Amino acid sequence: MDSTRGEGRPLFGSVPSGLFRVFSGSARHFYADLLAHLADDPFGHAGEVATRKRVFDSVAEFIDRRGRAEVVEALTSEGTCYAPGQSYVAAYNRLVETGWLVEYRDRYRRVVDFDPAARLVLHTLLDIQKGRVRSYGGAVLNVLTLLQSVEDDRFKRALNVREAALSARGFMNHLRTVAGTMRRVEALIMAQPTAAALVRRFVTDFIESLVVQDYRNLHARESPYRFRGKILETGESLLADDKAIDEIAYGWVSGGIAKDAASARDPIIADLREIIRVFAGIDDHVQDIETTTFRIERRMTNVVRFSDRMATVSTDRILRAMELMRGARLVEDDEVEVRTRLQLATLPISAKQFYMLPRRRAEVPEREIELQAPDPALLAYMAALDEFESRVTITPERLERYVEATLAGAAEAPAAAFQVHDVEQFLLFERLHEVGLGELSERYELESVDGVVANGWVERQAFVLRRREAAHG
């Protein structure tokens, strides 16, 4: 699908213009509950065609369950006119008028369904209402499963790239929503005037509604983020393989979401990059959630820690002061002499209650660092490593000595003239055959000829090595 599709179209261009009018009047709560009811019955039953009579019966059932008096009051306050006993017709007509419901003709009967755009809006609102608590492990594992299915069969499972990208975006949006909502709940909790209200708000708005279902497993062995590395590895391998992109593009064409393979490549690459971007930058959002959680839990810990002390120590003194104030004959402008700004109930019982200068740190005594002699076995091991490196490392100087020893002053030498008696000579011979002369190409030239040269180590195509001075002479 082309990412530029829809440019120039208003954000709500596909949504009926009066869709949200039902949420602006005094009966907004009634219509919100009614729409949620209709989404489940009758439009939640698969394969059932909802006739207008069927929808009327569902609306009437909802009104009876809600209470006719409450519904009549809500509809009357909104100014809706209807015949006695026909409140369900008025509610139905209101939904048709605002664009939520659409009527169609099916031969001799009239059927009803949600407007397609209105259905998407309604189910999104229902997901927002009911989908706060979510399993992170399920979301991450879903993206991994989709990507692995594409990796196993790129042509037949090509459409799963788009589904994986949508799941990754939805997962990131959920993380952002949780982080933002938790900050809002934190502000609500901090604004509570009493400890009891604070605890009640914490339980209802934080634990019951916003904590992720598997939040406590984020740092455990079964953390859902243990799949993140595999997701990044799979996405990057698909993105770096042009052949895989081509096969997925042909799968998109076969699946009907692209006209041709050339136009499908850019959206496929954009989806894979989106998946990698989401799971590569997920730590910042998780850290934000954890930081907010820590602040809220610390506030609740302080409430629990000091609530008993506040109740047992301060209550008696406060009540005694209030009783004395009630018996005092003071008027509004009377001055009360206070001896000190702070009067302790009891005197300090030890010097710990007074401020004391911090102790000076003791100076660290100087001591000599003893240097131990290296282990002889380690020295022997390091010497053996150096010797091995010197034997297997091919330098221009070693290669030139090998070539000159073979030429022995001659202008050229065939491949059979190069001696291969040990590992060092084998590596030098392989360097000539596989890589060439390298830095020595200004002095020598190597030409492949017909035939095969064989020695006790390897069998290779024959060649002739010449001096360049002799070649141009």
Share of the chain above pLDDT 70, in %: 74
Higher local confidence (pLDDT), 440 or 215: 440
Q: 10 Å Cβ neighbour count for 214? A: 17
Sign of torsion over alpha carbons 287, 292, 297, 302: positive
Long-range contacts of 278-284 (CB under 8 A, 24+ apart): 278/168, 278/169, 278/171, 278/172, 279/140, 279/143, 279/168, 279/228, 279/231, 279/232, 279/235, 280/232, 282/172, 282/175, 282/225, 282/228
Q: State the pLDDT at residue 1.
A: 40
Report, as an integer, the average pLDDT of 397-425.
84
Q: How confident is the model at residue 2 (pLDDT cuts 50, 70, 90)?
A: very low
Whether the pTM exceeds 0.75: the reply is no
Report yes or no: 82 and 89 within 8 Å, Cβ to Cβ.
yes
Share of the chain above pLDDT 90, in %: 1
Query: How far is C-alpha 348 from the chain's CA centre?
Result: 55
Q: Show the beta-strand stretches assigned E in 222-331.
A: none
Sign of torsion over alpha carbons 149, 153, 156, 159: positive
**Least confident window among 15-19, 99-103, 118-122:** 15-19
133 burial type by CB count under 10 A (0-12 exposed, 13-18 middle, 19+ buried): middle
Q: How confident is the model at residue 216 (pLDDT cuts 50, 70, 90)?
A: low
Q: What is the pLDDT of residues 315-327, one digit of tens each?
A: 677 777 778 877 7
What tokens were used for 410? 């001659």
**Least confident window among 107-116, 120-129, 137-146, 351-360:** 351-360
Q: How confident is the model at residue 388 (pLDDT cuts 50, 70, 90)?
A: confident
- Does residue 430 carry a pLDDT above 50? yes
- Does residue 313 carry a pLDDT above 70? no
- Does residue 284 carry a pLDDT above 70? yes
Taken as a whole, the chain contains a residue count of: 473
- Does residue 211 carry a pLDDT above 70? no
Q: How confident is the model at residue 472 (pLDDT cuts 50, 70, 90)?
A: very low
Report yes or no: 272 and 235 within 8 Å, Cβ to Cβ.
yes
Selection from 139, 159, 148 nearest residue 278 by Cα: 139
Domains, the chain, with CATH or none:
19-127 (1.10.10), 132-296 (no CATH), 379-472 (no CATH)
Count CA within 13 A, CB hemisphere, residue 467.
13
3-state DSSP assignment of residue 105: strand
Selection from 116, 120, 122, 99 nearest residue 37 by Cα: 122
Higher local confidence (pLDDT), 25 or 150: 150
DSSP of 150-199 = HHH-TTTTTTHHHHHHHHHHHHHHHHHHHHHHHHHHHHHHHT-SSHHHHH
Please, what is the average pLDDT of the chain?
76
- Does residue 456 carry a pLDDT above 70? yes
Report, as an integer, the average pLDDT of 295-313.
67
Point out which residues pair with 464 in neighbouring strands: 414, 447
Q: State the pLDDT at residue 214.
A: 47
> Phi-psi region for residue 21, left (φ > 0), alpha (ψ -120 to 50) or beta?
alpha
